[in-house]
Structure 1
């Protein structure tokens, strides 16, 4: 869900902002690795990163 929201947020920024906008996305919660829903190497994560 977070990746979908982030992707939609990026698309909205690209639609409304100047063409030269720089976008940075950062996340945290490394302290909850045992509760991680997706492994960092998963295809879903890889696709989300390639927004």
Structure 2
């Protein structure tokens, strides 16, 4: 299930304006959001873990 959730998160991020996906790994996504007016950049990281019941 984590792969589905990660794929869905990537779809959402790709659809957002001023968003740059900077890194993806098996269980990790890193992206940057740029504010519209002042062009401030904020980082966000998503970690996807596998629980015992999902193995």
**TM bucket normalised to smaller:** 0.3 to 0.5
TM-score normalized by the length of structure 2: 0.37
Which fold has the larger relative contact order, with Cα–Cα distance below 8 Å and residues 6 or more apart in sequence? 1
Higher strand share: 2
